[in-house]
Amino acid sequence: MRLQKFLSASGICSRRQGETYILDGRVQVNGRVVNTLGTQVDPEADTVAVDGRPVALVDEKVYIALNKPRGYVTSCDHPGERIVLDLVDIPQRIYPVGRLDKDSTGLLLLTNDGRLHHRLSHPSFDHEKEYDVTVDRPVSDNALARMAGGMHVKGRRTRPARVRRLSRHRFRIVLQEGRNRQIRRMVKQLGLRVRELKRVRMAGIRMDRLASGTSRHLTASEIRGLLKGIGDGGGRT
């Protein structure tokens, strides 16, 4: 098993973060620092540690939905800031799937399943994310149509989206991509400003009545749906 995959499967971090740990010299195999990506390890024979602390493969997978409040950073470690993991009290080490801006709220998935994390986070997989957006001034039908058809943001055209008006100042938008601050940048190009941005659905998971700052374990049927959804996807593994 590749070392970065082992770290992800152990619940320490995502696979991408594991690569950073390796390159930074924070990972030891059998007592020796390893900083080469792609290094192979035997989970049954080799001893792996991060920052000197032994890690092992995770037997029990955990899948949690959190209603992220405003003011929390989507990170496992961010000195001086409140992080989303502060809101979840469980013994297993978990990490967030994807990101929500500090000022954004709503549904965030957390897990120690590295494969699910990779499949839901990587841009090559077309998992839908639905947002409830409130802006500072009335949004025109033309503006909604522009967002639905795709807009040029930071030199690249956004993919088509599904957009539905809820009121003069509020709309729902469904994306199949997760570019940094994408909705806020699209809205700014339209001459508007986002007042509230809440994610209400990710893949097949809905936030429903989950109170702000609280979390719940996914149901067995929700977990089956997620795992089924990543079983045959394309992209890198």
Is 101 among the catalytic positions? yes
pLDDT digits (tens, 9 = 90+) for 88-138: 988 788 889 888 999 999 999 999 888 788 778 765 556 889 999 999 999
The mean per-residue pLDDT over the stretch 55-60 comes to: 77
pLDDT digits (tens, 9 = 90+) for 11-39: 777 778 889 999 999 999 999 999 999 89
The mean per-residue pLDDT over the stretch 146-159 comes to: 93
The mean per-residue pLDDT over the stretch 196-222 comes to: 94
Please tell me the distance from the alpha carbon of residue 207 to that of residue 212, in angstroms, as a whole number: 10
Instruction: Report pTM.
Output: 0.75
| Residue of 51, 77, 89, 101 with catalytic role | 101
For the chain, domains (ranges, CATH) are 3-55 (3.10.290.10), 63-123+204-231 (3.30.70.580), 129-202 (3.30.70.1560)
